[in-house]
Structure 1
């Protein structure tokens, strides 16, 4: 059996977290605190010698900004240096002096909340009062219009985990930067348990 080291990282605090938004697939930036969290995580990983051989990242803005901050901290760049576009390689090199690749995968996006993407509950209630009233008072699961199903979200997280296990071997050290809900599904898949794990959303960051 092959073994490799895997680090699952939830993006830093986002503006949507602070505003209480259902971010989903919406594009939101990190707060100053979120940028600091990302940078300092990179510094910590460098201090601990946690050098990656492969990086996977969600293509949503808050995840890519987290990765960029981590790399700056890992490389020793000044905190708060200008942000750039999506990186194709990390800027780091392996022990063989080869660039460490980054893959941006849609499977690592947060749960797609459909018409609720990017809204606060108050905004959702203003736009969709009858549907929100039904959600508040029904004991049944009501599908959100234009959202992916829970089963679809679970399947893409499982697909990613299965690909990881198939691709990586002894000595590999993998960073994965993603989002709260999808990370829950990945952890459940790795542990071989039901995916209905519960953690308070927004209460852990850069783990």
Structure 2
């Protein structure tokens, strides 16, 4: 049996302000850092050994992972950063306050198939202006959760799954919609209304075929 730890980042300033965050890059709040360190303490107390970490390119996930690994005295393990673990890009909704968005646009929040209106190519929020994504030929400017799942599964197939099968302890520190996409892929659960707690390690026990045996929160 194999284990995989999924972790949503701690509270960011945009979370606190109830904004659509997406590929925007706000920092953790003080509460978010507390949540990150508590996740590390939970994993340490539960006896988890981690050998490699995967994380998005966004600071709220990176700082959460650093807090976890510091609490576990594991800052030395290898960390692989990938844009494929970035939150869903919310297009024109990026940075907007959720409660101020018209009801007809809120359907984009957890919908699996529907993309929000895309950012224009000249919008300063477009990822093509961010040096982190300079190697991407066509960085996304508005994604559905299905789009997130498609990019996630590339990383899963070629990098994450092989590390799990090699017997290494793996943690993936990422974002709510990425974890929803993961859970939909592994279990077939619908993404609509699926709540993902911040800073709470989600553990999957996986069989030899990497199909889930059970899932639980620590």
What TM-score do you get using the length of structure 1 for normalisation?
0.72
User: Relative to 1, partners in 2 of residues 1:205 and 1:42: Cα closer, same or farther, differing over 3 Å?
Assistant: closer
Determine the structure 1 residue equivalent to 2:75: 91
Q: Hey, what does 1:30 align to over in structure 2?
A: 28
CA distance in 2, matches of 1:62, 1:113: 17
Does the CA contact (< 8 Å) of 1:24 and 1:113 recur in 2? yes
Counterpart CA distance in 2 for 1:37 and 1:136 is 27
The answer to whether the Cα contact below 8 Å between 1:188 and 1:197 also exists between their aligned partners in 2 is: no
Kindly state the Cα deviation for residue 17 of structure 1 after the two structures are TM-superposed.
Answer: 0.9
CA distance in 2, matches of 1:51, 1:91: 13
1:85 aligns with none
Instruction: Tell me which stretches of 4 or more aligned residues in structure 1 moved more than 4 Å.
Output: none
Greater Rg by CA: 1
| Residue of structure 1 equivalent to 2:170 | 174
Question: Is the Cα contact below 8 Å between 1:7 and 1:174 reproduced in 2?
Answer: yes
1:189 partnered with 2:192: no
Q: For residues 152-171 of structure 1, what are the structure 2 equivalents within 5 Å?
A: 152-163=147-158, 164-171=160-167
Residues 153-202 of structure 1 deviation map (CA, whole Å, 9 limit, x = unaligned) = 220122233232244325321010000011111122122x155353236x
Is 1:145 the counterpart of 2:118? The answer is yes
Gaps of 5+ in 1: 76-89, 93-99, 126-131
* Maintained 8 Å contact 2:183/2:189: no
Q: Which runs of no fewer than 5 residues in structure 2 stay unpaired?
A: 108-113, 120-141, 202-218
Is the 8 Å Cα contact of residues 14 and 20 (structure 2) preserved in structure 1? yes
Task: Report the secondary structure of 2:170's partner residue.
Answer: strand
2:117 match: secondary structure: coil
Pairing 1:40-189 to 2, within 5 Å after superposition: 40-75=38-73, 91-92=75-76, 100-121=77-98, 132=102, 135=105, 143-146=116-119, 147-163=142-158, 164-189=160-185
TM-score normalised by structure 2 residue count: 0.69
Q: Distance in 2 between matches of 1:43 and 1:133?
A: 40
**CA RMSD, 1 decimal:** 2.6
CA distance in 1, matches of 2:167, 2:30: 35
